[in-house]
Structure 1
Amino acid sequence: MPFLLRGARVLEALSRRTGHLLAWFTLAMALLQSGIVVLRRFFDSGSVALQESVVYLHGAVFMLGLAYALQTDAHVRVDVFYRQMRPRSRAWVNAIGYLVFLLPLCGFLLVSSWQFVLNSWWVFEDSANAGGLPGVFLLKSLIPLAAITLSLAGAAQFIRALIQLMETPPVATAAETSPALSKQPEETEV
């Protein structure tokens, strides 16, 4: 079990570092977009490359931020019943959800995007717009990379759920199970 826990910690550290790097991407994206607005509004000029760089940064933040959102539990969860469950039941739902839904979805994304990305790399696809950025193949590479990082974060969360399920629940004593036994005897007057 310590090996599993160490593996989960390594995968979570990778997701955390990626998330912190993406925070800087978000700041750069906001500054670039502000610069584009200032250029257009006050100087009546623009740059296709700057506009596409905002799109590239947005794609990187969205696609690579999926793993960080999963790790920090910032993803959307339909929790009609989940929030009322006990921790052990939640661990079962999480383990089954990661194993049955998330990991196969990541595998599907990886397999289905592979040829799409390879074709883009084969021709070193660049922007269709004049003056655009030449690295569209890099942007498309974010699709399988997102599938890989999301599956690693999902594997870490799956390991956490398994560890929680393997822990033995504390054995309840007779005083905890019987309300009559848990009451303290009242002091008698002498």
Structure 2
Amino acid sequence: MLMKQMLACQQFIDQVHSRLCQVVSWFTLTMVFLTFLIVVLRYGFNLGWIAMQESVLYLHAMVFMLGAAHTLKANEHVRVDIFYRKMSKRKQALVDIFGTLLLLLPVNFLIFFLSLDYVIKAWSLMESSPEAGGLPLVFLLKSFILVFAVTMNLQGIAELIRNIFAFKSSTAASAEGQA
């Protein structure tokens, strides 16, 4: 029963991050369009707006912060795998379990808690851009630090569940192979 609940939890988290990835892909397309528009307006018509330039910066931050969890889900994150790639699936699952428990989850909890006061202060000030004509949404942008930490920890939990299942299934397969 617990295994079914764990699997359902992992699938739900994966599904949420897949949908979030679709939003991120639209942000990326919008960012490319805006960058093109900024260049054309600046060099073609000698026009420019700080708010438009900052919107590209905001979109870039959102793409990174919201897309990081999907990158983890897709196993496309940076990994120094000199030894990892030569390991059996069982050992890889074990390394991933310990990496998640000892590095991923604690670091993202730390990011969340160290950033909480920073974000709260930005909201209390309704912090806006220091640039004239900039976006008055810096407090929202800073909030994505917390969203990043939460989504990474959620995906870390999903990866932990996935690796526990991988470890158990490889252990069962090796036990059947020895029998």
TM-score by length of 2: 0.95
Q: Within 2, Cα distance between the matches of 1:147 and 1:137?
A: 16
Alignment of 1:91-106 (within 5 A): 91-106=93-108
Q: Within 2, Cα distance between the matches of 1:85 and 1:21?
A: 35
Equivalent in 29, 32, 36 of residue 31 of structure 2: 29
Identity of aligned residues (%): 42
Q: Work out which of the two has the higher radius of gyration on C-alpha atoms and give 1 or 2.
A: 1
Question: Which secondary structure does the structure 2 equivalent of 1:172 belong to?
Answer: helix
Equivalent in 162, 169, 176 of residue 171 of structure 1: 176
Which amino acid is the alignment partner of residue 120 of structure 1? A
Q: What 5-or-longer segments of structure 1 have no aligned partner?
A: 175-190
Which amino acid is the alignment partner of residue 165 of structure 1? F
Equivalent in 119, 122, 125 of residue 120 of structure 1: 122
Question: Which secondary structure does the structure 2 equivalent of 1:127 belong to?
Answer: coil
Q: CA deviation at 1:173?
A: 6.1
Whichever structure has more helix as a proportion of its residues is 2
Q: Within 2, Cα distance between the matches of 1:52 and 1:136?
A: 10
Residue 58 (structure 1) aligns with = 60
Residue 84 (structure 1) aligns with = 86
Which amino acid is the alignment partner of residue 23 of structure 1? S
Equivalent in 156, 159, 168 of residue 157 of structure 1: 159
Q: CA deviation at 1:45?
A: 1.0
Cα-Cα RMSD: 1.0
Aligned length: 174
Q: CA deviation at 1:20?
A: 1.3
Residue 143 (structure 2) aligns with = 141
| 1:52-87 deviation line (CA, Å, top 9, x unaligned) | 000000000011111010000110011001111111
Residue 68 (structure 1) aligns with = 70
Question: Which secondary structure does the structure 2 equivalent of 1:75 belong to?
Answer: coil
